[in-house]
Structure 1
């Protein structure tokens, strides 16, 4: 019991706020004095704006030249393609005009040669109509 009361008192004392003491000039650990550093010298810095602008303008000129060149090439290809198509159409129209067949040449007329085979002997066809009629009569009877 006593031990418990003692522990409660110690806990209550620990919970109480206790501020740190204020340090005075006569404190045993003095702070070092601040050193005065020289002011920083401002150095001029170089912006590459003008140089980059010039490079960019040259780059833009090259790109425009390429675009103009490609555009000119494309137009030339289109015009050549149109001319070629027109020529093909003209050629097709020329070919599609109906023309008369040329006369056959009778310089070497066809002369048939006599065959070595015997002539075909005529044979009368056997008509099966009579046989069918006979079957019908037999089937009906």
Structure 2
């Protein structure tokens, strides 16, 4: 810190010199303007957050709807069953008796992926729904 005075400043001789009504009014006005600007910025941020949540929920709903339709449609089910059967046949042809380990591994990974994808979208949709009810 330096002991230099700002340009245009004067030394106050007493307490009354420190309390200048015009300066206090200026400071109060600046504080009010600053509060208004801060409140306006906060409102804009909240509005942007709400719009982003709405946009994300729309994307999430569309994606989860398409994934659920794929997993539970006849064509998706048939494609998954045919791919699973052909994969099992290829593993048995390639590895013989050792294929049981790999088939079990593929079963667990596939089940994990299906549950993870569907569960993630279900959890996200429920949390978004709860956020909507909070507001």
- Larger helix proportion of the pair: 2
Compute the TM-score of the two structures, normalised by the length of structure 2: 0.40
Compute the TM-score of the two structures, normalised by the length of structure 1: 0.38
Higher RCO by CA contacts (8 Å cutoff, separation 6 or greater): 2
